[in-house]
Amino acid sequence: MTWSKFIKLREWAKVASQEIGYPIYLVGSTLYKEVPRDFDIVVVIPQKEFEERFGKLTENNWKEALVNSFNFYVGEYWDCKETLGECGRVPLDFKVYPDNWFVDEDRLLLGEPK
């Protein structure tokens, strides 16, 4: 990711996090690979709210809940792709996670509500 694209992504995330009320992080291989497969962007919301919106998280249905959350947020905030173009032909991968998932994984805060 070039510095100018990172700055554009961060500016978008600052605005989007204010609008949706939750922090937005850059995660995954983008943080350590020179040429990542995609840019993983995660919105982190409280688990209770995640389950109210997208379904109870159980061993059997967590994938379905993630698909529901993906469709919800991508539909509302996909305009980031217009801002960044194709990011050097690396796709953007948006996800929504409850706040108790991947808490020990590396992540870079892009934007948070004030």
CA angle 76, 66, 22 (to 5 degrees): 50
Closest CA to 57 of 105, 101, 27: 101
pTM, full prediction: 0.78
Work out how many domains the chain is built from and give that number. Answer: 1
Question: Half-sphere exposure (CA, 13 Å, Cβ side) for 73?
Answer: 28
Q: Which domain holds residue 78?
A: 3-111
Contacts of 59 (CB under 8 A, 6+ apart): none
CATH number at residue 63: 3.30.460
CA angle 70, 108, 61 (to 5 degrees): 30
Q: What tens digit of pLDDT does each residue of 13-22 get?
A: 898 898 889 9
Q: What tens digit of pLDDT does each residue of 38-69 get?
A: 788 899 999 998 888 887 887 787 777 777 77
